[in-house]
Structure 1
Amino acid sequence: MRFNLLGPLEAFSDDDPVGLGGFNQRAIAGFLLLRANEVVPTSKLVHALWGYDTPATSRKMVQNAVSGLRKIIERHAETAGAVTLTTTAPGYRMTVADGNLDLWNFRRLVELGRADLAAGREESGLGKLYSALQLWRGPVLADLAETGVAWPELSAVAGMRMSVFEDYAQEALNRGRHHEILGELEQMATAEPAGERMCGLLMVALYRCGRQHDALAAYRRTRAALLDDFGLDPGHELRGLEVAVLHHDASLALDAEPERRRTIPGPVGVRRCERITAGRGATARRSQTLMHRRHS
């Protein structure tokens, strides 16, 4: 069997889709696959399904869901490969063969692509990052997230996707592909309105496409999002980029010398928001507990 997490949860036996059952079974499968080949304590599974307000029979419901998943895997034993679901104290482990999980394939392509970029093989690196991003079919475990699931692991994987896209977009801009990347940048910036690096990349692409006013509007949107969501002003790199766009600074040109090119805000500018985001996510998860209980 093989599994896809980068979008709605999917399972396949050969090329045939495999149903994983109701919400509890799908949620447990998704959580175990996020930690594939690791032992996940039963207490973590209980918390993942019901948060801080667990029903008295929560452990029994986890046992029942695991039993149902195990039967599905055994039913497809001939094509399951090395996929197993075992009871291993203090919880359970989903073992998946290499290459049978799209999240692993994504990470492998990203590692190879970044290695190529670091070694100066820009075209090969760009192609591998693009292939990695093409594995995504929507938000990670989108069907579970739609029901109110808000695990920290989902945010971590989504953040990984955003970082990879930013690296890909940066390299595409370095190679003069601002027209090609603009549409994707606009979509990703809409999904991450407070992302300073994403905003900077979008501003440069817009500017090089002759859309100075739109580049400045993108800055204003991100500044408003940072103030509304976190009470922060943009970092000095992004503020400097706004000034450069206003004055048609030569550092924004594609043919500018590498050492004179305008610095696009990097991950540091985003990380200063992550602590606040994490705290807000925890509050949201607590408020969703009652919503999760309907699946019990």
Structure 2
Amino acid sequence: MKFGILGPVEVISGGQPLALGGLVQRAALGYLLLHCNKVVATSALVRAVWGHDAPPTARKMVQNAVSRLRRTLAEGDGDGQVELVTCSPGYLLRVDPDAVDVHRFRTLAERGRAELSQGRAERAAATLGEALAQWRGPALSDLTETGIDWPQTALLENERLAAFEDSAEAGLALGRHFEIVRELEAMTEAEPARERLCGQLMLALYRCHRQREALAAYQRTRMALVETFGLDPGRELQSLEMKILQHDESLAVPGRPHAAPAPAPVLTPAPAPAPVLAPAPVLAPVPAPAPVAAAVGPRSRPDLFSSPTGGVSPHARTAARARGEELAMAHRWRGADPLWASLW
């Protein structure tokens, strides 16, 4: 028979889950499994189920729930290895610790942590992976959905996160940053104030050549710490940020050469292209200036008053005649009209 509280409360017998009844019965079993092989007072069970608002019949309801659980476990346990007995001032659940998932998880997590501290990263990764595989969801998830909130539930979640961080450390030591970076991103989104988790994500992102996102992860955790606790990140996380900015060689995967960032290419100006010279224009031959005609002198200029054959031309005789008539008319008018004479 196997018992589970790392997820919904369950009991597996012969590979099949047993019916556990209502809320009081399931809550009583979950609380007894958290304290298996220890005596649990009835008053503690009453507070676990109802808190400080327990009804007057709470103790009787717990007794009835325990009685039904005893019958259910007896039917499912063929080997007689599980026993729920009345033991003043309450009840005792006797069970093999290895049959309860929370105890298997704790045993494997401690073993994996020891292997990691011994430098056996490969073995530690396998052991811690087996430990985390015990979880089927949030601890006691069917009870927390009804409003039940036990301090042990928060402690179990912290143990799970610590085991996950140990597993991530083993993965980083083995150079598996590409494999675990998505899980780290999801976990840090849910738990932004955990500095160790943030540091592992930053390192994984840096090794995946995502330096800008690694620095952004630091800023998110810093803001979460300031807003939640009013504190800045610790020196270790601040130092990691500085190393990422400086591409420190210590951030390389152990046993592998550090891949320094490629230097920025030095850009040299391209030589100016040679000017393209237009072909020299083909000049058409300048025609020789036309010979300037000889100056026409008085003798060479044609005379309008001479005929080509010599003597006076008819035009000249007509013009002379017209001129003589004008002069004669002027002499006649000069004597007749003094004003005209003055104008003439």
Calculate the TM-score normalised by the size of structure 2: 0.70
1:192 Cα deviation from its structure 2 partner: 1.4
| Runs of 4+ residues over 6 Å off in structure 1 | none
Corresponding residue for residue 62 of structure 1: 62
CA shift digits 1:104-124 (9 cap, x unpaired): 111222232233333443322
Q: Which amino acid aligns with 1:217?
A: A
Contact 1:250–1:256 at 8 Å: present in 2 too? Answer: no
Corresponding residue for residue 212 of structure 2: 213
Secondary structure, aligned partner of 1:99: helix
Q: Which amino acid aligns with 1:116?
A: E
Corresponding residue for residue 140 of structure 1: 139
CA shift digits 1:5-49 (9 cap, x unpaired): 111111111101101111111111111101111111112111111
Structure 1: gaps (5+ residues): 258-296
Alignment root-mean-square deviation, CA: 1.8
Q: Which amino acid aligns with 1:134?
A: A
CA shift digits 1:130-162 (9 cap, x unpaired): 111112111111111222222111111111111
Corresponding residue for residue 186 of structure 1: 185
Q: Which amino acid aligns with 2:18?
A: V
Corresponding residue for residue 279 of structure 2: none
Q: Which amino acid aligns with 1:65?
A: A
Corresponding residue for residue 25 of structure 2: 25
Contact 2:121–2:173 at 8 Å: present in 1 too? Answer: no
1:212 Cα deviation from its structure 2 partner: 1.1
Contact 1:172–1:181 at 8 Å: present in 2 too? Answer: yes
Q: Distance in 1 between matches of 2:92 and 2:168?
A: 37
1:206 Cα deviation from its structure 2 partner: 0.7
- Indicate the structure whose relative CO is greater, using CA pairs within 8 Å and at least 6 residues apart: 1
Corresponding residue for residue 241 of structure 1: 240
1:255 Cα deviation from its structure 2 partner: 4.3
Q: Which amino acid aligns with 1:61?
A: M
Q: Distance in 1 between matches of 2:94 and 2:65?
A: 17
Structure 2: gaps (5+ residues): 257-344
1:234 Cα deviation from its structure 2 partner: 1.5
1:256 Cα deviation from its structure 2 partner: 8.0
Q: Distance in 2 between matches of 1:68 and 1:228?
A: 48
Corresponding residue for residue 46 of structure 1: 46
Corresponding residue for residue 162 of structure 2: 163
Q: Distance in 2 between matches of 1:10 and 1:54?
A: 25
Question: Alignment identity in percent?
Answer: 53
- Counting matched residue pairs gives 256
**1:1-296 map, 5 Å:** 1-78=1-78, 81-255=80-254
Structure of higher CA gyration radius: 2
